[in-house]
Structure 1
Amino acid sequence: MQNYVFFIALWLVCAVATIGGALLALRWEVGLHVGRIAVGVLFVVGGALLHVINLARGDDYAGFADPAHFDWVTRAWRAVVPPNHVLLIGLLIAFEAAAGILVVAGGRWTRLGYLAVVAFHVPLWLFGWYETVYVLIMLPPLVFLLRQEVRRGHAGHRADGAHPLRSGAHRPQR
């Protein structure tokens, strides 16, 4: 139980820091860094490490989808995941660790990591009301941070901040 109290506290801190980072990113670049660190820690420690601990304790994740909004989600989960939990949760661990590392890596890697994080969150709402509320809270700041990182990446293509394709810079000289 102590492990779960730690992880719940970690999730709350990371969620608040992600939202705070997104709000800071409205005006200051430091918000992007806060968001990256928060999301990276959330996925590497709060996701991948937690699943490593759960697998080591013998959890087969059979009950995870029990509170799902639709019975077909619960049935499909129970038919697929528990019989293959080591492989499937192992893949989830690899995905969450990679996404978290990519988010903190910087540049286009950060954008790729945020795409993975957003893609992870989109179907999560299916698994119950807790997940639905979590997704409704987290998805907007995650999408916003991704958007800010994309904007920052595009502005970085030219020293003057102009978009290279819209400014005519791509046209050959005659």
Structure 2
Amino acid sequence: MEQVMWLVLGVTVMGASVRAGRSSRARIVARVALGTLFLFFGAMVNAIYLITDRDSFAAFGEMSQFAFVRDTWGSLVTPNTGFFIGLLIAGEATAGLLVLSGGRRLEAGLVLLMPFHVGLLFFGWWLWLYAVPMLGALVLLLRAQRQHPSGHARPPGV
């Protein structure tokens, strides 16, 4: 179920971000979809997995195309799953809340989500299919937000 929601909400964020520079409605749609994605289908789902299926996190690191990532994940993250996945959950929840808050907090949330998506690139080629377009969407949404911080275009020269 969560994979379907990642796909649906991710595609929604990407599509709305393309139009965000011209449409306040698209900015809102992108913001709500992105915030929902990270707050509920990131933080909440990972919290549920941490409680019910802690071992599932070990497999995530094993998918990496890089030996140093697999080795580090296996030696550092897997034995300390509660701590590191707890940090992940806190980060996803924080980013989701910041994005949903709008305004300057939205900008902060978008900036926080960029390195998160760059980090995903180390965990398997298939994540490139999601992370690269999402990085583009985050940049477009941040640019649109900075151009229209209150829903209106900034005056020239500002």
Which TM-score applies when normalising by structure 2? 0.91
Larger radius of gyration between Structure 1 and Structure 2: 1
> 1:36 maps to what in 2?
31
- Is the alpha carbon distance of 1:11 and 1:102 closer, same or farther for their aligned partners in structure 2, counting shifts above 3 Å? same
> 1:118 maps to what in 2?
114
**Structure ranking higher on relative contact order (CA contacts 8 Å, 6+ apart):** 2
Please state which structure has a larger fraction of its residues in helix: 2
Q: Alpha-carbon deviation of 1:52?
A: 0.7
Note the aligned Cα RMSD (angstroms): 1.9
Structure 1, residues 60-92: CA drift from partner, whole Å, max 9, x if none?
Answer: 311111121211110011111111110111111
| Helix, strand or coil at the partner of 1:153 | coil
Aligned length: 157
> 1:45 maps to what in 2?
40
> 2:85 maps to what in 1?
89
When structure 1 is superposed on structure 2, of 109-118 and 57-66 the one drifting more is 57-66
Q: Distance in 2 between matches of 1:163 and 1:106?
A: 24
> 2:74 maps to what in 1?
78
2:19 alignment partner AA: L
- Is the alpha carbon distance of 1:25 and 1:119 closer, same or farther for their aligned partners in structure 2, counting shifts above 3 Å? same
Question: Contact conserved, 1:40 with 1:104, CA < 8 A, in 2?
Answer: yes
Structure 1, residues 96-145: CA drift from partner, whole Å, max 9, x if none?
Answer: 00101100101100000001111210121110012122112211111110
- 1:18 aligned to which of 13, 16, 22: 13
> Share of identical aligned residues, percent?
37
Q: Alpha-carbon deviation of 1:18?
A: 0.3
Give the 5 Å matches for 1:96-135: 96-135=92-131
| Helix, strand or coil at the partner of 1:68 | coil
2:52 alignment partner AA: R
Runs of at least 5 residues in structure 1 that lack an aligned partner in the other structure:
1-5, 165-174
Q: Distance in 2 between matches of 1:138 and 1:160?
A: 26
Q: Distance in 2 between matches of 1:69 and 1:29?
A: 40
> 2:138 maps to what in 1?
142
Question: Contact conserved, 2:21 with 2:147, CA < 8 A, in 1?
Answer: no
Q: Alpha-carbon deviation of 1:154?
A: 9.1
Q: Distance in 1 between matches of 2:39 and 2:143?
A: 22
Which TM-score applies when normalising by structure 1? 0.83
1:67 alignment partner AA: M
